[in-house]
Structure 1
Amino acid sequence: MPVAADLAVLSGPAPRRPGLWRTLRGDVACVQARDPAARFTLEILLTYPGVHAVLAHRLANRLWRSGLRFPARLLSWLARAATNVDIHPGATIGQRLFIDHGAGVVIGETAEIGDDVTLYHGVTLGGTTWSAGKRHPTLRDGVLVGAGAKVLGPVEVGAGARVGANAVVMQDVPPGMTVVGIPGRVVIGKQERRRIDGRIDLDHHLMPDPVGEAISALLDRIAFLETRVAHLQRGEAAAPARCDTCEEQGNR
């Protein structure tokens, strides 16, 4: 038996992708688990632009993968005009993506998003090169990206990681870590986060400030040095004045 056949037998059949209807139901149902303001399904379907954008992308992506590129782009453009969310139809999006508020979100063509990912308004998953091929980020399962954050280039954000509001990420992020700042820096590990009945932690604004902490440490050091200098100056002022004439007479 050929080697390829052996590998196929060992790996088993490829996992089946969920049907479109099941995927759409998951996109709507996940909102109630992540948005305290969500009340019932009809309200979500009618009033959540992030949900509208994801549902339109599911259809546009199917057209794109079927070779109907122009209808796919036209549908994504109409969805952008209606929702202010720009998702390229070629982007790969997993199950139960939630785009909260939706305004200003941009997802590029080669971006890959895993399951149970949450994006807030103003998020950009963008590219940094004109070259063809993979040029947009990959977000693994369970990633949360805060409002206004930018993840740029073919970087990978590991499963369960969080990107703080307004951070700019241009390097890979290990799984479970939290990144803040410009450029993004890892500041919190998964074990340090709060857990709320198994639901995601929405306190993405409660982030440490590594730059502010560094400045605070420098200010403390400057205050310490100023105190030392003042102490030395007082000591010199209290010392008896030196008399050169008396020292010369004593040497005679």
Structure 2
Amino acid sequence: MFQRLREDINSVFARDPAARNFLEVLTNYPGLHALLLHRLAHWLWQRQLKWLARTLSTFSRWLTGIEIHPGARIGRRFFIDHGMGVVIGETAEVGDDVTLYQGVTLGGTSWHKGKRHPTLEDGVIVGAGAKILGPFTVGAGAKVGSNAVVTKEVPAGATVVGIPGKIVKRADPDAAEALEVDPERREAMRRKFGFDAYGVSEDMPDPVARSIQAMLDHMHAVDERIERMCGTLRKLDASYREGKLPELRDEDFADILSDVDACCGPTSSGAGSEHDRDQGGPDRPRGNG
């Protein structure tokens, strides 16, 4: 018993730099209080003293702001940092060395009895406000970003962010390096399109931001290739127009503009003016009047 208590307190020192001494952790950490009371409530629950177990868990919620159902199974060195608003459902299973921050919910999506809450394997870290909902497994060493909503299984070691939760996969090498993108031109293209990756750091990237960045990198690579092709064409054919597009002539659109004039009134283009001259001048009245 005392060995488990020492383990739990040492886990606080290992994961919270604000912890200063043994007495402070034992008396002022609600996450530790909730864990100790849950261990007692779970012991009562397993011995079919369920009313007493639920009463103890309710008292723990009043005391700490953390609600852990006495039926939940929690491993060793479990740490809840700050803890207010944490909810852990009846059939949830939590492995060793798991860390939860405030506002985390390990909930269910069904009213049917049986397994309906998630399983967190060893070493999982869940950020503040995240919701993990359903009877699936979050693999060992996975990380769930703050405020993410996860409703599907998460493989070991993955990072999940966003609503709904998306697995972040880091390309190796970086997409820009694979496309030989000049970092300065990449940044110029970002500014041109007004894209700043939502201010997300590389430590916790947004999958949508990364997708947009990959599209910009691809556009940059295509632009580079078109420039090379144009340079080659200029060498092969001196008459090749350097960076100029063919001009649009009014006579090519005379018929279309005539139809537009008949339907919507005179246009201001050259072809429209020529059409007006054919009909008797731009000042000639139209319609039945």
Q: Does the Cα contact within 8 Å between 1:106 and 1:125 map onto a contact in 2? A: yes
Secondary structure class of the residue paired with 2:48: coil
Give runs of aligned pairs for residues 6-21 of structure 1, distance below 5 A: 20-21=1-2
- 2:64 paired with 1:86: no
Any unmatched runs of 5+ in structure 2? Answer: 174-200, 227-243, 255-289
Quote the Cα distance in structure 2 between the aligned partners of 1:152 and 1:213: 25
- Where relative contact order (Cα < 8 A, 6+ residues apart) is larger, the structure is 1
Quote the Cα distance in structure 2 between the aligned partners of 1:22 and 1:134: 31
Residue type of the alignment partner of 1:57: H
Could you tell me which of 120, 124, 129 is aligned with 2:105?
A: 124
Superposition RMSD on alpha carbons, in Å? Answer: 3.3
- 2:142 paired with 1:161: yes
Give the TM-score normalised by structure 2.
0.64
- 2:208 paired with 1:211: yes
> Kindly tell me: are residues 162 and 31 of structure 1, through their superposed partners in 2, closer, same or farther at Cα, counting changes over 3 Å?
same
Shift of 1:46: 1.0
Give runs of aligned pairs for residues 67-146 of structure 1, distance below 5 A: 67-146=48-127
Give runs of aligned pairs for residues 226-245 of structure 1, distance below 5 A: 235-237=245-247
- Deviation string, structure 1 residues 3-62 (Cα, Å, up to 9, x no partner): xxxxxxxxxxxxxxxxx3322221111000001111111100111111111111011110
Secondary structure class of the residue paired with 2:245: helix
Give runs of aligned pairs for residues 37-76 of structure 1, distance below 5 A: 37-76=18-57
Secondary structure class of the residue paired with 2:4: helix
- Deviation string, structure 1 residues 53-108 (Cα, Å, up to 9, x no partner): 11110111101111111111111001101111000000000001000000110000
Residue type of the alignment partner of 1:174: P
Paired positions, count: 208
Quote the Cα distance in structure 1 between the aligned partners of 2:63 and 2:121: 28
Residue type of the alignment partner of 2:105: T
Any unmatched runs of 5+ in structure 1? Answer: 1-19, 193-203, 229-233, 245-252
Shift of 1:206: 3.3
- 2:186 paired with 1:176: no
Secondary structure class of the residue paired with 1:179: strand
